[in-house]
Every structure is written in structure tokens, then in C-alpha cells.
Amino acid sequence: MAEDLAEAEDRVLDQPRIDAVLEAVEAGDRAAVDALLEPLHAADIADLLEQIGPGDRRALLRLWSHEIDGEILSEISEAIREEVVEALPREVLVEAVRDLETDDVVDLLEDLDEPQQEVILDALEDADRVAVEQAMGYPEYSAGRLMQRETVVAPEHWTVGEAIDFLRKSENLPDQFYHVILVDPRMQPVGYVTLGRVLSSPRDAALRAISEESFRTVQATDAEADVAYIFNQYHLISCPVVDAGGRLVGVITIDDAMNVLDEEHEEDMLRLAGVGDEASVSDGPVDTVRQRLPWLVVNLFTASLSALVISQFEATIAAIVALAALMPIVASTGGIAGTQSLAVAVRALATRDLTRANAGRVVRRELLAGVMNGLGLALILGAAGVLIFGDWHLGAVLGLAMIVNQVVAALGGVLVPLTLERLGLDPALASGTFVTTLTDVMGFFAFLGLATVMLI
């Protein structure tokens, strides 16, 4: 048990190991680097390359590049993939690419310049090159780009015994597969059978008799986001991909579909934060500024709307100086409430839980929640206004403004992304900026407007 535990700990990428690798690289000790990296999973080695700085990364690749294989290459983040590929000797890159399935090769090519693409394509066998080039011919972010061409196919009339004999004799099976796809004479998929059912059924059992009810296909031109939704919704393990004529052209497996879901969620988070959809901790200062500055400029202009509203109430603020100190409270609570509602709405749109069928109910729920939150905050702030400033009128203004802003925030958080989605835009793209502007402008207007009417 102790030996197993020690072996498991030896495979962990932690800070001491990273420090040891960097020390070995600095000393030029390739044997030490080999000993430190050999126990690690390919994903951990990719993480190590992403976590260290560009200089250390180049030094490590110069010392250890001949150990880079296809599995490591496929795990490396898009943010540094081109840099790593450029640093690898041609013969290492060629050998690494030959280990990859076609879907991983396509994923790699998408992030590279044309000269680097040619190097990789030249390394492939003729059949693999044709398959990859055909996949690259499909639209970006489509099922055709996501699928792998390596499939396990059997005629629909075969028995379990015939399928098992075929699998045992075949020399070109994919490294991992989950289903045997059944096809008719026109190579159109008509069902599939899990490997578990094949191995547990009698040899004379017909494959069609033990095929899965979950069977469905996707078009090669379908959006990969739609494919990922189908996998998640119907709990698929793999799914055949067909062309316009219904003929089998590839298969998508659950790991690729889940990667798409992860990327979609990550993009939504980054866009909501206004940092673009490709931000990474590996980015340099210039790339970071390029991703963030445009949204900061947009926010600069939208914030000027709030300043314009405030400027219309200069006389009110001058007469009651306490209003200046209380304005940020109204704006801040409204912004937080808007972000809460927005996060739920964007997530629900991404998972298709929020649709036209239930949009009205969700809007009503947010409206009611906004009113209830507003009443709760109004009681707290209203009482605080009376106790601190000794003026129940000021407390009433605070309470009413809070109710208004909470309602605006709740409705804005759901209506803004819904509107963007109806316009065919990404709901996460600019929702945060619009909702923040809406809550700030309406919060200041309600607070100062009520103060002008009730206190002046």
C-alpha cells in the first residue's frame, strides 16, 4: 500500500516538481528532466509547459523535445501550441503527428499557419492526409472538423461472432472506440452496438437485435455546439457523422464533445468578464491588452452615460451632500443583482434550458425576485438612512430607489441576453456591459430623481 501511494505521489505535477524541472533545465541535465517528467501523464506535461514562462519553455523544449509525442501535443493549450510546434525539430513533429487520430490532427492544424500545416500534412500517410484535408474542408466549428475518420463498421446483417472475428483480425482499429456501427449496403449507418453487448452476447446473436436505442446521427455540417448539446442531452458515448447523402464519414466520441462543452463554457465566462474568448494565463502583456482594452474603451463610453445622468442633478447633490455618499450603494447592489440574473440567463441559454417556450415564465420569475429583493434591501437601507441621517424622507428615497434598481437589474439580466440571442448574437458577448450600464443609469436616475421630488 505504501509503495502504491508513493508511486501515485510520484505522478503528481506539483510545485516542487515544477521547481525541480526548472532547476534541471537550467543545469542542462537532460537525465534529470527525463526522470522528473517520465512518470507524468501527457496532460500534466502540457500543463507544465503552459505554467512556466516563455524562456523556460523554450529551454525545456530544446533539452527535452525528442520526448514530445502526439498525446502531449494534443493536450497543449491553443494559446502556446503554435509556439511549441515552432520549437520542435521537424523529425520530432513528424513522428508525434503520426501518433494522432485524424480529429486530433485537425484540431492541431486549425491553430497553425499554412507553412506549419504543410509540414504536418506531409508527415501523414496518403490515406490519413486525404482524410484530414477532407475534414478541413468542412466549415469551422462543425461536426466535420470535430469527428475522427477512424471508425469500426460492420454490415447490418452480421452476427456477434462475425463481428468478433473481424475485430480480432483487423490491424487498423482506432486506439479507443465504444461502438460497432452497423451500416447498410450504401454505407448509411442504421444502428450501433456497444462493445459490452458484443462481448456478452452469444456468437449467433444478430447485431441488429442487440443494437442501442440511443442511436442517432449528426450531419457533418452541423455546428459542434449542437453536437455537444446532443451528447449532453441524450447521454451519448459516440455518434456517427454522415454527409449530405446520409453516408457514414466519421464518428464523434464523448471526449471531443465534452471538450466543446468546456470551451463553450469557458468562452461564455471570458466574454461575460469582457476579456475576449481566447484569454489565457500564458498570454503576454500585449495580447492581454489587445483582448481587454476594446471592452474597457466601450465601458468608458457607457460609463459616461451614468456621468451624464448624475450631472443633471447637480443642484440636488449640492443641496444634500449625503446623496453623493449614498449613490455608490444603489449602483453597486444593482450591478451585483444584474450580474446574478445575467449569469443564470446566459448559462440557461447555453444549455438550452431557456427557450422561447419558457422565456415568459423566467422573466416573470426574475421580476418577482427583483421586487422581493428590492423590498428586503429597502427595509435595511431605509432603516439605516433614518438611523444614520435622522431623516425618514432620505430613508424612503433610498428604499424606493433600491426597489426600482433591483427590478431593473433582474429584468435587464434576463432580457438583454435574450434580446442578443434573438438577434443571432452571442448572449455572453456584451451582456455584462449593457446590464451594468442599465443598472447604473437607472439606479442613479431613480435615486436622484426621487431625491429631487421628495427632498428638495
Q: Are residues 265 and 224 in the same domain?
A: yes
> Residue 380 and residue 372: Cα distance in Å, rounded?
13
Question: Does 137 have pLDDT greater than 60?
Answer: yes
| Contact predicate 341/439, CB 8 Å | no
Angle between helices 322-350 and 392-422 (to 10 degrees): 30
Record the cell numbers describing residue 113, joined without a space. Answer: 499557419
Mean pLDDT of 53-57: 88
Q: What pLDDT score was predicted for residue 163?
A: 94
Is 147 within the bounds of a domain?
no
Residue 240 φ/ψ, nearest 5 degrees: -65, 150
Kindly report, residue by residue over 365-408, the tens digit of the pLDDT. Answer: 999 999 999 999 888 888 887 887 777 888 888 889 889 999 99
Kindly report, residue by residue over 101-136, the tens digit of the pLDDT. Answer: 888 888 888 877 888 788 888 888 888 888 888 888
Query: Higher confidence at residue 176 or residue 429?
Result: 176
> Residue 421 and residue 109: Cα distance in Å, rounded?
31
Spatial CB neighbours of 219, under 8 Å, sequence gap ≥ 6: 143, 241, 242, 243, 244
Q: What pLDDT score was predicted for residue 8?
A: 43
Alpha-helical regions (H) of 38-178: 42-51, 54-64, 70-75, 78-87, 90-98, 102-109, 114-123, 126-136, 143-146, 160-169
Q: What is the mean pLDDT of the chain?
A: 84
Q: Are residues 52 and 165 in the same domain?
A: no
pTM of the model: 0.68
Record the cell numbers describing residue 428, joined without a space. Answer: 455572453
The total of structural domains in the chain comes to: 3
| Contact predicate 282/50, CB 8 Å | yes
Is 393 within the bounds of a domain?
yes
Q: How would you class 155 by CB atoms within 10 Å of its CB: exposed for 0-12, middle for 13-18, buried for 19 or more?
A: middle
> Residue 340 and residue 411: Cα distance in Å, rounded?
11
Question: Does 281 have pLDDT greater than 60?
Answer: no
**Closest CA relative to residue 76, chosen from 62, 63, 89, 61:** 61
Q: What pLDDT score was predicted for residue 6?
A: 41
Mean pLDDT of 144-165: 93
| Contact predicate 208/226, CB 8 Å | no
Q: Indicate the residue type of 50.
A: E
Is 35 within the bounds of a domain?
yes
Task: Say which range, 2-16, 345-359, 390-404, has the weakest mean pLDDT.
Answer: 2-16
Q: What pLDDT score was predicted for residue 271?
A: 65
Mean pLDDT of 13-22: 90
Q: Are residues 199 and 229 in the same domain?
A: yes
Task: Say which range, 198-212, 298-312, 367-381, 407-421, has the weakest mean pLDDT.
Answer: 298-312
**pLDDT band per the 50, 70, 90 thresholds, residue 173:** confident
Q: Are residues 289 and 410 in the same domain?
A: yes
Strands (E), 317-363: none
- Give percent above pLDDT 70 in the chain: 91
Query: Higher confidence at residue 14 or residue 222?
Result: 222
Is 64 within the bounds of a domain?
yes
Question: Does 328 have pLDDT greater than 60?
Answer: yes
Is 280 within the bounds of a domain?
no
Q: Give, as one character, the DSSP assignment of residue 289.
A: H
Is 27 within the bounds of a domain?
yes
Q: What pLDDT score was predicted for residue 5?
A: 34
Q: Among 91, 106, 137, give the residue marking a domain's end.
A: 137
Question: Does 255 have pLDDT greater than 70?
Answer: yes
Separation of CA 53 from chain center = 24
Q: Are residues 203 and 293 in the same domain?
A: no
Is 400 within the bounds of a domain?
yes
Spatial CB neighbours of 220, under 8 Å, sequence gap ≥ 6: 138, 142, 143, 144, 147, 241, 242, 243, 249, 250
- Give percent above pLDDT 90 in the chain: 28
Question: Does 273 have pLDDT greater than 70?
Answer: no
Domain assignment of residue 182, given as a range: 153-270
Q: Among 106, 137, 168, give the residue marking a domain's end.
A: 137
User: What residues does 242 pair with on adjacent strands?
Assistant: 219, 248
**Secondary structure (3-state) at 220:** coil
CB atoms within 10 A of CB 210: 17
Q: Does an H or E element contain 260, and which?
A: helix 254-272
Question: Does 284 have pLDDT greater than 80?
Answer: no
Q: Are residues 353 and 438 in the same domain?
A: yes
Alpha-helical regions (H) of 357-426: 359-389, 392-422
> Residue 282 and residue 22: Cα distance in Å, rounded?
17
Q: Which residue has the cell 462543425?
A: 142
Q: What pLDDT score was predicted for residue 191?
A: 95
Question: Does 159 have pLDDT greater than 90?
Answer: yes
Kindly report, residue by residue over 205-248, the tens digit of the pLDDT. Answer: 999 999 999 999 999 999 998 999 899 889 999 999 999 999 99
Q: Among 247, 270, 293, give the residue marking a domain's end.
A: 270
Q: Are residues 411 and 262 in the same domain?
A: no
Q: Are residues 129 and 68 in the same domain?
A: yes
**pLDDT band per the 50, 70, 90 thresholds, residue 262:** confident
Mean pLDDT of 26-42: 90
| Contact predicate 382/398, CB 8 Å | yes
CATH number where 90 lies? 1.25.60.10
Mean pLDDT of 397-423: 89
Kindly report, residue by residue over 62-102, the tens digit of the pLDDT. Answer: 888 777 888 888 888 877 888 888 888 888 887 888 778 88
Mean pLDDT of 401-429: 86
Q: Are residues 128 and 198 in the same domain?
A: no
Is 312 within the bounds of a domain?
yes
Q: Are residues 132 and 157 in the same domain?
A: no
3-class SS shares of the chain: helix, strand, coil, % to 5: 70, 5, 25
Question: Does 9 have pLDDT greater than 60?
Answer: no
Q: Are residues 343 and 383 in the same domain?
A: yes
Q: Are residues 319 and 442 in the same domain?
A: yes
Cα 342 to Cα 170, 350, 416, 448: the distances in Å are: 52, 12, 8, 26
CATH number where 212 lies? 3.10.580.10
**pLDDT band per the 50, 70, 90 thresholds, residue 4:** very low
